[in-house]
Homo-oligomer: A and B are copies of this chain.
Amino acid sequence: MRVAILGPRGTYAEVAARSQFGKGVKVAPYPTITDVVEAVAGGKIPAGVVPVESLREGSVGEALDALAWSDVRVRAEVVVPITHSLLVIPRAGTKQITQVLSHPQAIAQCREFLRKNLPKAELIEMASTAKAAEQVGKLRQPHMAAIGPHVLAELYGLEVKRDGIQSGEVNLTRFLCVAKRDGNPTGCDKTSIVFYTAEDRPGILHEILGEFASRGINLTKIESRPSKKALGDYLFFIDFEGHREDVRPREALEAVRGKTAMLKILGSYPKIF
């Protein structure tokens, strides 16, 4: 099975793809989220994995836009904890480390660990955690270390010296797996939709949510997002519990279709999060 991911290799998108499709999955890295979705929409590859929201950073706008306007369906959701590892060349000792390379955000997230364990190390900012690991893997100097996801160790011939070195609460990132068809009903599903109302009048969103509320359907996410066509024009992204083929969700979706200028059912899939 080949799966498109946001590249470069060794990012959390690859961790998510492995968790969904198994360790043997062959990942094909693409330069942007839109490219991943378009590759699936165009039939070049059967599935893709894209990040849609992170507990810390919020939603990923590019993913929402790509889902709204491309011919793909959401087939599964995958939640991955973002944890950083200290990566070195095999058999290098922590005491030897005088340089630590990583993306500025990863360095910031591991500041406490660095202050305690490597207070004198020079911190070198790189454009991505993958570039940092690539550099350490290429130069093979025992005084260099990279910070990033543990999957980078395997890709660049490095060793995980310490795992989970980030500070504070665990940051979770939610990925969606997209394909040409969504999932079959399992009895515990979620459905993602996006819609657009032609009218910008007070109460229209309230009316639409009423179609779910009156049928006892629980919403798990709601987000408005500028449509990019004009300021003040909004797309609404909603996730709710239930499969689009279940009786009450089906009725609600029919009613919502009548109240919106555009409704796209992004897909139904087993509920994880």
Contacts and interface: CB of A to CB of B under 8 A. Distances in A.
Quick one: copies of this chain in the complex? 2
B222 A224 contact: yes
Contact of A206 (B61, B103, B200, B209): B209
A212 B221 contact: no
A202 B212 contact: yes
Nearest to A218: B202
B202 A206 contact: no
Contacts of A108: 31-32
Contacts of A205: 209, 213, 219, 222
Interface stretch (A20-28, A120-128, A141-149, A158-166): A120-128
Interface stretch (A51-59, A178-186, A257-265): A51-59
A62 interface: yes
A55 B127 contact: no
Contacts of A222: 205, 222-224, 236
Contacts of A62: 56-57
A6 to B, nearest CB: 12
Chain A, interface SS category: mixed
Interface string A57-70: 11111101100000
Nearest to A273: B231
Q: Which of A31, A222, A236 has the largest count of B CB atoms less than 10 A from its CB?
A: A222
A53 B160 CA distance: 36
Contacts of A104: 127-128
Nearest to A79: B231
Contact of A55 (B61, B206, B216): B61
A169 interface: yes
Contacts of A214: 203
Contacts of A209: 205-206, 209
Interface in A202-244: 202-203, 205-207, 209-210, 212-226, 228, 231-232, 234, 236
B58 A61 contact: yes
22 contacts: A31-B108, A56-B65, A57-B62, A58-B60, A58-B61, A59-B59, A59-B223, A104-B127, A127-B127, A172-B231, A202-B219, A203-B214, A205-B209, A205-B213, A205-B222, A206-B213, A207-B213, A219-B224, A221-B224, A221-B234, A222-B236, A231-B273
Given A58-B58, A125-B131, A169-B228, 6 more contacts: A54-B61, A57-B60, A59-B223, A125-B126, A206-B206, A206-B212
